[in-house]
């Protein structure tokens, strides 16, 4: 039965702003806090939809920009919509693709009417307006659609961020009017760069439009973690308590645990799957590099306390061997492990919040989990952003 997704708040931790809820969609109930694996082009790389379901996920993210360019909105609609096209029977959130237009396109011409951009695939020229961004997502048939926004660079001066906020607000008004699909929720995106007062302004203006939910965008793009946490906390404190909050593009284990304490309900990031394909695996003690020579002869799982398919069947030595051989199975097994780890983490997080012990869960996890060196992390992020821009 088709229904407009609703958010139902179940409980909140008495000592913090952490909370648990449910997203009620036409494709099932999604418990929050929740992490969404990224399937930008209708593919969670190396995995089948059954794999993703088996790992405990009820909702994924797809990207309108990538699907518009390949295979095309017309084809997906003709073949029965995005769920049928990719064989996924769970819920789907589609990003509008605004961020990818700016980060991937070699040429962007911005106006109040919309965005003229060149495809990162073949250089062809395209135009997208707020109305088109909504129309494409309605035709895809996702459960949650995102308004088109302008995401300024993390180092943009204040006047440029203010211009982006004004345009984002005007586009949000147009998206709200354009959206007609009754079985699809629509979320707006709070931007504002690193300026807390601008994020307050953005939240207040977007709340006046009465969206179904609100996302926090434009973070984890090169700023320090402390800055990220501060701005997430400020943004959440301004957003409606009874509507879902979605932190876009944030997926490190420590970030999920800490941001949940500010009241974030939804997370997404390509990080767990992307680093898996490079041999970086999550454990309760932190990330490990399975390609390192020290794993060459280790005849035990990557993580002794992990019960994922990979750890139940294969040794660290075998995974090291697969990566050295550059065999495709390496990427699949590593991805299974990382997504299993994240789902187990979020499941434990929900249980802790429901039990009133979020603070203890957070402190225990952070004390044990060895975080990536901050300077190294920021440098890796800068390099990744450079590659994204070509």
376 found inside a domain: no
pLDDT of residue 390: 56
Please confirm whether the linkage preceding 33 is cis (ω < 30° from 0): yes
Q: What's the total number of domains in the chain?
A: 2
Contacts of 234 (CB under 8 A, 6+ apart): 196, 199, 200
Same domain for 314 and 178: no
φ/ψ of residue 332, rounded to 5: -70, -50
Do residue 68 and residue 138 come from a single domain? yes
Tell me the C-alpha distance between 102 and 275, whole Å. 23
Query: Rounded to whole angstroms, how far apart are CA atoms 48 and 236?
Result: 34
Same domain flag for 247 and 284: no
Any domain includes 155: yes
Domain boundary among 270, 291, 321: 270
Q: Is residue 319 part of a domain?
A: yes
**Looking at the structure, do residues 263 and 302 belong to the same domain, yes or no?**
no
Residue 388 domain-assigned? no
* In the chain, beta strands by DSSP E: 6-12, 19-25, 28-32, 34-37, 59-63, 91-95, 108-110, 115-118, 125-128, 144-146, 185-190, 213-216, 245-247, 266-269, 280-283, 286-289
Does any domain span residue 1? no
Measure the CA–CA gap between 275 and 292, rounded to whole angstroms: 14
pLDDT at residue number 384: 53
| Residue that the structure tokens 């990080």 belong to | 271
> Residue 48's pLDDT is what?
98
- The residues that are catalytic are 95, 268
Residue 154 belongs to some domain of the structure: yes
Do 159 and 295 belong together in one domain?
no
Rounded Cα–Cα distance for residues 142 and 81 (Å): 8
- 245 shares its domain with 298: no
Domain that holds residue 16: 6-270
Q: Tell me which of 233, 248, 270 is where a domain ends.
A: 270
79 shares its domain with 122: yes
Residue 378 maps to a domain? no
Q: List Cα–Cα distances, 216 to 106, 254, 301, 355, in angstroms.
A: 25, 18, 37, 27
Q: pLDDT value at position 221?
A: 93
- For the domain that residue 149 is a member of, what is the CATH number? 3.20.20.105
Domain end residue (candidates: 241, 270, 299): 270
> Are 251 and 333 members of one domain?
no
What is residue 105's predicted lDDT score, i.e. its pLDDT? Answer: 79
Question: Do 247 and 293 lie in a common domain?
Answer: no
389 in a structural domain: no
According to the model, what pLDDT value does residue 372 have?
A: 80
Residues 196 and 234: beta-carbon distance below 8 Å: yes
What is the C-alpha to C-alpha distance for residues 294 and 310, in angstroms, rounded to an integer? 19
Same domain, 173 and 115: yes
Q: State whether 258 and 357 are in the same domain.
A: no
Total-model pTM: 0.96
Integer-rounded Cα radius of gyration of the chain: 20
Sequence-separated (6 or more) residues with CB below 8 Å from residue 361:
257, 348, 349, 352
Token pair for 50: 């059954």
Q: Clarify whether residues 236 and 344 are in a common domain.
A: no
Task: Note down pLDDT in tens along the chain; length 390 residues.
Answer: 678 789 999 999 989 999 999 999 999 999 999 999 999 999 999 999 999 999 999 999 999 999 999 999 999 999 999 999 999 999 999 999 989 988 887 789 999 999 999 999 999 999 999 999 999 999 999 999 999 999 999 999 999 999 999 999 999 999 999 999 999 999 999 999 999 999 999 999 999 999 999 999 999 999 999 999 999 999 999 999 999 999 999 999 999 999 999 999 999 999 999 999 999 999 999 999 999 999 999 999 999 999 999 999 999 999 999 999 999 999 999 999 999 999 999 999 999 999 999 999 999 999 999 998 766 656 666 665 566 555
């Amino acid at each position: 039965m088709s229904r407009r997704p609703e958010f139902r708040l179940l409980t909140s931790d008495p000592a913090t702003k952490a909370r648990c809820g449910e997203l009620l969609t036409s494709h099932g109930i999604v418990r929050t806090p929740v992490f969404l694996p990224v399937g930008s082009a209708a593919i969670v790389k190396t995995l089948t939809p059954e794999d993703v379901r088996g790992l405990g996920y009820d909702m994924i993210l797809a990207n309108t920009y990538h699907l518009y360019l390949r295979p095309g909105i017309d084809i997906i609609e003709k073949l029965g919509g995005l769920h049928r096209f990719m064989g996924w029977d769970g819920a789907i959130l589609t990003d509008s693709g605004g961020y990818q237009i700016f980060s991937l396109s070699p040429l962007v011409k911005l106006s109040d009417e919309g965005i003229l951009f060149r495809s990162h695939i073949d250089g062809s020229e395209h135009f997208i307006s707020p109305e088109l961004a909504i129309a494409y997502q309605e035709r895809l048939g996702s459960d949650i659609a995102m308004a088109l926004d302008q995401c300024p660079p993390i180092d943009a001066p204040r006047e440029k961020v203010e211009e982006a906020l004004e345009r984002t607000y005007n586009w949000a008004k147009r998206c709200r009017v354009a959206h007609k699909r009754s079985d699809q929720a629509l979320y707006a995106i709070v931007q504002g760069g690193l300026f807390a007062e601008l994020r307050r302004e953005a939240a207040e203006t977007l709340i006046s439009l009465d969206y179904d939910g609100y996302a926090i965008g434009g973070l984890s793009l090169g700023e320090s973690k402390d800055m990220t946490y501060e701005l997430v906390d400020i943004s959440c404190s301004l957003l409606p308590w009874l509507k879902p909050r979605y932190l876009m593009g944030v997926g490190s284990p420590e970030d999920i645990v800490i941001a949940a304490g500010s009241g974030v309900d939804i997370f997404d990031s390509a990080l767990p799957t992307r680093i898996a394909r490079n041999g970086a695996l999550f454990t309760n003690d932190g990330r490990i590099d399975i390609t390192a020579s020290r794993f060459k002869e280790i005849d035990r799982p990557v993580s002794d306390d992990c019960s994922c398919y990979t750890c139940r069947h294969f040794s660290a030595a075998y995974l090291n061997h697969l990566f050295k051989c550059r065999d495709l199975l390496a990427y699949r097994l590593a991805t299974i492990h990382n997504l299993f780890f994240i789902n187990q983490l979020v499941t434990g997080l929900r249980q802790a919040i429901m039990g009133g012990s979020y603070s203890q869960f957070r402190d225990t996890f952070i004390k044990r989990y060895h975080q990536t060196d901050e300077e190294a992390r920021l440098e890796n992020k800068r390099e990744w952003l450079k590659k994204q821009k070509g």
